[in-house]
Amino acid sequence: MAEQQVSVEGQVRPLPTPFFVVATQNPVLFHGVYPLPEAQLDRFALCCSLGYSSEEMEMAILSDQIAGHPLDNIQTCIQLQDALFIQETVRLIRVSDEIKRYIVTLTAKTRKWPGVRLGVSSRGAIALMKMSQSLALLDNQPFVSPESVHEVAVNVLAHRLMLDDDARFSGITGAKIIADILADTPVPA
């Protein structure tokens, strides 16, 4: 993904700008579903669970399917130049050395935390910084605050952790470990 190109049957094809992947993942307990390898998980900037729709939302989903498929009438919600402008603007959000040190401390702790077999890589630290910048932009802040880091940390880091068998079988989750690390780490002033 970082190479900005793909190879299909030996032919290299450049990817358009912007390029990003949105993927869904079924629970591993489903028949025929296998967990992604660590190297692939690490390439997804964040992971979130949408959960089930409310009954009202599910009624609307059913109603939308009666006359046709909603994707048949999908409309553009943002112009290409606006998306590129937003990407460039995110890069202008300041990240102080204190916040960078905080991010490095959080990710380093994942590598030593009890129950963790494989902690967060440098790619994960970069993703945490960039997602924190994105949230700061959405919050109309010119800089990343510790609160921005906190708000995105679980979604950015938890899926990257590989837990040991004892932790997994005792019901500990990556989200719980990240929450514990956040609680254990002093926030920069």
pLDDT for residue 25: 80
pLDDT for residue 1: 59
Weakly modelled stretches of the chain, pLDDT under 50: none
Each as own residue / partner, the long-range contacts of residues 180-188 (CB below 8 Å, 24 or more positions apart, any chain) are 180/113, 181/106, 181/109, 181/110, 181/113, 182/106, 182/150, 182/153, 184/109, 185/102, 185/105, 185/106, 185/109, 187/102, 187/146, 187/150, 188/96, 188/98, 188/99, 188/101, 188/102, 188/146
pLDDT for residue 19: 87
pLDDT for residue 28: 65
- Please state whether 146 falls in left (phi above 0), alpha (psi between -120 and 50) or beta: alpha
pLDDT for residue 24: 83
H or E segment at 154?
helix 146-157
Phi/psi for 111 (5° steps) reads -80, -15
Which pair of tokens denotes residue 1?
A: 């993904």
pLDDT for residue 35: 77
Phi/psi for 170 (5° steps) reads -90, 5
Q: Are 65 and 71 in contact (CB under 8 A)?
A: no
Q: C-alpha 140: how far from its chain's center?
A: 20
